[in-house]
Structure 1
Amino acid sequence: MGAERESVIGGGAVGTACALDLAVDAHVHTGFSAGRDAVGVVVSAADRAGLRALTFADQAGPDTAWLPAYADAVRRARHRTEMTLRVAAEVEVIRADGWLALPADLAPLDALSVAVSALPAGGELLSPRDVRDRLDAGLLTPAQVAELLVEATIKGLERASRYAPAQLARPLALLGQAGVDDAVVTPELIAELAAACRITGSLVEVSEAWRSPSPRVVEMLLDAAVTVVPASDARYAAEVGRWHYLRRV
């Protein structure tokens, strides 16, 4: 296992390469986007859960206009808690070259959480159902899907890290959604992903909500000295910092 190292976003330690620190939640949502509750409600829930660091990572894109108000709400909440609070946005990889659907103004953000919810392939973005259909039709193989997914993920992290500290949201979750076992992701592919994370300084989220990545992949990333952090992906305040899958991992 790699030597312990500290990873920092916005000035606070959020995890180490050797363990999952369950006093951290690296990805929560609010009513600004995919969530249901206000920032203050989420912070109160995190306090009750005993967390010491929380990253807000609402889904954002080119048309998002609420980032300044979102960031202001988090900054106001910092005065009411001893927790470290960070402002991030979840952004999608939309091309094979790692092009991201970025908001116009990144200034309010402490970090970018990179997600690959659709597979860039042949100039198209394939939904998990599209991927399954092409697998069933013999137009793609599971190995090809894994290679395309890891390549797009790496390029997305490389691009995101040019603008802000990056973290990887729900790694490889698209495979499970398309009915592909992540055993198809070879150690060589994981090694490539791990190297990209180390080079870019990217964190890897282990998602409670998405049960992703698998314990097998988490172990390989830890062995490769990648910093992994718990992420509830909570849409409701009551889900923040509540671990079931993470404890098994």
Structure 2
Amino acid sequence: MAVHVEPVMGLPVSLDLRDEGEFSAAVAEAFGWLHEVDARFSPYRMDSEVSRYGRGELPAGDLSGDLDEVLGLCAHYERLSGGAFSARLPGRALDPCAVVKGWAVQRAADRLHAAGARRFCLNAGGDVVTAGEPEPGRPWRVGVRHPEQPLEVCAVIASRGGAVATSAAYERGQHILDGRTGQPATGLLSVTIVAEDLANADALATAAFALGEEGIGWAAAQPGCEVLIVDADRRVHRSPGLAAG
């Protein structure tokens, strides 16, 4: 059993590991991977693979398999959202961060699982992967921050394995843009998606937020997902199957 916290990708990443046994090497590997992703995929680092590719310094044939996968995921969610989700906005540098964080944290969780960990919660700034139960018969309880009250939660979600991701404007302002217009997304205050995989949950949450009000029905229609959405009129839209903590 252990709790480990490190700043990575500009946010705190915490691991609550409840398995008995020695997992220090696996924890180091998981966090080492996250730091590697930060160095290779950050659009804010001039020497990162993403920045170099975005400037045209790397031909498509020379990309790493990881970046090729990330770009494929970006293209998939752009098609799925009708262009509202986009890593390539006019006049802006290539920015795949909306895919990279969830993808990287899910990969880190997969590394822990491969090492034998079965009961843990990996939290990257509110985007969460859980496995098993912290105690027999009790799920992990994932709090969803209130979109207007920073010290309050608007919901608690029960999770025994899967992912929870939230997109909102309360941390970084209007940083989510509608790829169809290039303008800040409007119509929603927060979007939380519950899915089996954090890469999918995180990208869907961003895409739904970018879609605005039409993102409510769009997100609810995605297979294998449950949603909790607060719109600009403070109305709450919640999937019937969403498990309360």
TM-score by length of 1: 0.28
Q: Considering fraction of residues, name the structure with more strand.
A: 2
Which structure is richer in relative contact order (CA contacts within 8 A, separation 6 or more)?
1
TM-score by length of 2: 0.28
